[in-house]
Amino acid sequence: MRLMIIGSLSGQISTAGKIAIGRGAKVTHTEDVEQAMGALRNGRGADLIMMDVKLDIATLIEQLKAERFAIPVVACGIGTNASTAVNAIKAGAKEFLPLPPNAELIAAVLEAIAEENNSMLAQDPAMKAVLNMADRVASSDATILVTGESGTGKEVMSRYIHQKSKRAGGPFISLNCAAIPENLLESELFGHEKGAFTGAVARRIGKFEEANGGTLLLDEVSEMHPSLQAKLLRAIQERVIDRIGGKTPVKIDIRLIATSNRDLESYVREGNFREDLYHRLNVINLALPPLRDRPSDIVPLAQAFSEKYGEQNGLPKKKISAAAAARLKAHDWPGNIRELENTMHRAVLMSQEAEIEAAAIIISGQRQPAPEQSIAQTAQTVVSAATGGESAALVGRTVADVERELILNTLDHCLGNRTHAANILGISIRTLRNKLKEYGEQERIHG
């Protein structure tokens, strides 16, 4: 994982960097927003940015968005209060990290933000066969096409292959072809020179160059426009690319992995995808089975997600009850592993028993509790834990007043970390954001 740290952080920068390096991150340091943007344009990419809360986080977020750098930003600072942390979140930071740095907290943030879990769980024969093939071809430089329905883990498989390859020490660069507008995708892939087109304010290195020495993942490659497919084909065949506005071809050394959730052979027959490009990409095809076709993996995956989100939320590790397991196995999981993960995240927060009970497994077609219900349930648990069950202090107060205090105190406890606070409260980040906005408006009215 590549970490960029922006700012001096009053001497704590070296400590934070050393901890991150010890956790496997590759760290670069820039002093301010201008230096950071220059480094990113020149191919010194990052998977995560940690920035001094005293710097202009809002400007950085705006520039990242304007130049299509999809990099999460974590604000960090020394001796800051909850309001400073909340302001950083409002400016666009993903999380807030207090300093001096805590090794375990930094490790948790790196894992939570980067979401680079390269382990593959495969007990079902259908998935074992695919994983065995992936192991056999990972060490080669052969181009791989990973196919499967949405949510089957195509990007996770791609990262797994990269980590098993001889390029594991190099960068892993991912580009979602469906998420970039057609008129900007060429620049994202191949880069551009300053002044090459309106808005090209500086030279920028594309994903092909950024991935040099490593692996480039083209996610949902089937969504690429046919006119750009020809340029991609040339890059694969000749191992050179042309920056937009550039005069000299640039050599590249990458391993290419592409993914698609569509039937590319049908796309070829319909004229939506070049046949020669399809054959170039489909040297090795790894077809990931949907979750309904790997039933032996449902409960083990659910248990793994249960432990993951239990640890993130400071909750005790729980086993999945037999009734809950039966409920999980009875569902056909149209959203595949992504749907299962979301279901177990919710179950961990909703569970009230020693084991995760069937009632906590809320899946498609069932109504979720309203946010107010979740807050009330969490309030009861928090009060019980803090006071030994004495809830008399709540008598005589309105639900809205208790809810507000619970939310603000939880946010303060998490030092402004919105994601962790929402998880503890058992509500979505959107609900938390709306509540904070509501409280801010009330303060302006009565202030």
DSSP letters for 222-288: GGS-HHHHHHHHHHHHHSEE--BT-SS-EE---EEEEEESS-HHHHHHTTSS-HHHHHHHTTEEEEP
Which of 255, 289, 323 finishes a domain? 289
Is there a single domain that holds both residue 193 and residue 257?
yes
Is there a single domain that holds both residue 197 and residue 242?
yes
Give the residue among 51, 50, 53 at the shortest CA–CA distance from 88: 53
12: pLDDT strictly greater than 60: yes
Q: How far is it, in rounded angstroms, from Cα 323 to Cα 348?
A: 15
Domain presence at residue 372:
no
Q: How far is it, in rounded angstroms, from Cα 231 to Cα 185?
A: 12
Domain presence at residue 342:
yes
Is there a single domain that holds both residue 243 and residue 166?
yes
Which of 256, 289, 322 finishes a domain? 289
Is there a single domain that holds both residue 64 and residue 80?
yes
Domain presence at residue 370:
no
Long-range CB contacts (within 8 A, 24+) of 414-418: 415/82, 415/85, 415/96, 415/98, 416/82, 416/84, 416/85, 416/86, 416/88, 416/89, 416/96, 417/85, 417/95, 417/96, 418/89, 418/95
Domain presence at residue 371:
no
pTM: 0.66
Which of 114, 149, 167 finishes a domain? 114
Lowest mean pLDDT, pick from 179-188, 296-305, 327-336, 398-407:
398-407
User: What is the percentage of the chain residues whose pLDDT exceeds 70?
Assistant: 85
The model's confidence at residue 446, banded by pLDDT at 50, 70 and 90, is low
| Number of independent structural domains in the chain | 4
Is there a single domain that holds both residue 217 and residue 78?
no
DSSP 142-155: --EEEE-STTS-HH
Which pLDDT score, from 0 to 100, does residue 385 have? 41
User: Which two tokens mark 198?
Assistant: 């309106």
CATH number of the domain that residue 311 is part of: 1.10.8.60
Is there a single domain that holds both residue 147 and residue 214?
yes
Is there a single domain that holds both residue 13 and residue 90?
yes
Look at phi and psi of residue 59 and say left if phi exceeds 0, alpha if psi is from -120 to 50, else beta.
alpha
Residues contacting 309, CB < 8 A, separation 6+: 315, 344, 345, 348, 349, 423
| Structural domain containing residue 129 | 125-289
With residues binned 3-state (H G I as helix, E B as strand, rest as coil), the percentages for the chain, rounded to 5, are 50, 15, 35
Is there a single domain that holds both residue 296 and residue 284?
no
Is there a single domain that holds both residue 136 and residue 26?
no
426: pLDDT strictly greater than 90: no
Is there a single domain that holds both residue 107 and residue 218?
no
C-alpha distances in Å from residue 309, one per residue of 223, 297, 350, 381, 435: 33, 18, 12, 18, 23
Is there a single domain that holds both residue 136 and residue 250?
yes
Q: What is the signed CA dihedral for 186, 188, 191, 192, rounded to 10 degrees?
A: 70
Q: What is the mean pLDDT of residues 167-181?
A: 88
C-alpha distances in Å from residue 37, one per residue of 63, 217, 300: 8, 23, 42
